[in-house]
């Protein structure tokens, strides 16, 4: 009985410590460059920071012409995070979109969300068709700033 009580107390303490650490060090992803209001070329490297990304989570970058409900996954896969930094190659629409505002955001996806996006990339590569997607929900607690840029 005492051993069971001690085990339960240790488990509760471990859960409390994990929850407290998550509150102190929440999962975050941030777009550092470009910044809102910047002008960009048709294609650009977008860079940012990622902190405390949970195991099994993946950072994806999405862009769309402002005002559209659909988004386009960028970079051909999840961002590679090195020392808390990432960089993703982004295409801002087509020639006809010159002068338009584009919104960029990052989503921290679960393994299942990552698999869905990788399937989208494979279908796009196989067919040459790049349909927009609904923005996937980020894992709870992982946030991204949205950046609005204007394409030259």
Residue whose C-alpha is closest to residue 104's, from 138, 149, 38, 50: 149
In a domain, 136, yes or no: yes
> What pLDDT does residue 11 have?
55
For residue 6, pLDDT beyond 60: no
Contact 146, 103 (CB under 8 A): yes
Classify 56 in phi/psi space as left (phi over 0), alpha (psi -120 to 50) or beta. Answer: left
Average pLDDT of every residue of the chain: 89
Lowest mean pLDDT of 18-22, 99-103, 117-121, name the range: 18-22
In a domain, 33, yes or no: yes
> What pLDDT does residue 143 have?
81
> What pLDDT does residue 131 have?
97
> What pLDDT does residue 42 have?
98
> What pLDDT does residue 114 have?
97
Please tell me the pTM assigned to this model.
0.83
DSSP tag of 130: -
In a domain, 90, yes or no: yes
Residues 108-138 pLDDT 10s: 999 999 999 999 999 999 999 999 999 999 9
In a domain, 89, yes or no: yes
Domain count, the chain: 1
CATH number at residue 64: 2.60.40.10
In a domain, 10, yes or no: no
126: domain range? Answer: 26-151
Average pLDDT over residues 11-16: 52
Residue by residue, DSSP assigns 95-138 as GGGTT-EEEEEEEEE-HHHHHHHHHHHHHHHHHS----BPPPPP
- Give the pLDDT band (50/70/90) at residue 9: low
For residue 17, pLDDT beyond 60: no
> What pLDDT does residue 22 have?
42
d(CA 57, CA 86): 14
In a domain, 4, yes or no: no
d(CA 60, CA 57): 10
In a domain, 18, yes or no: no
In a domain, 44, yes or no: yes
């Amino acid at each position: 009985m005492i051993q069971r009580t001690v085990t339960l107390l240790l488990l509760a303490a471990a859960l409390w410590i994990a929850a407290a650490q998550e509150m102190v060090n929440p999962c975050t992803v941030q777009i550092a460059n470009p910044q809102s209001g910047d002008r960009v070329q048709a294609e650009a490297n977008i860079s940012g920071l990622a902190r405390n990304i949970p195991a099994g989570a993946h950072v994806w970058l999405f862009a769309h012409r402002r005002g559209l409900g659909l988004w386009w996954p960028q970079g051909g896969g999840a961002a590679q995070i090195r020392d808390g930094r990432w960089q993703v190659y982004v295409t801002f629409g087509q020639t006809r979109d010159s002068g338009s505002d584009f919104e960029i955001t990052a989503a921290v996806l679960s393994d299942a969300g990552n698999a869905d996006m990788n399937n989208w990339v494979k279908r796009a590569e196989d067919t040459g068709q790049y349909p927009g997607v609904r923005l996937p929900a980020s894992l709870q607690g992982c946030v991204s700033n949205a950046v609005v840029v204007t394409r030259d």
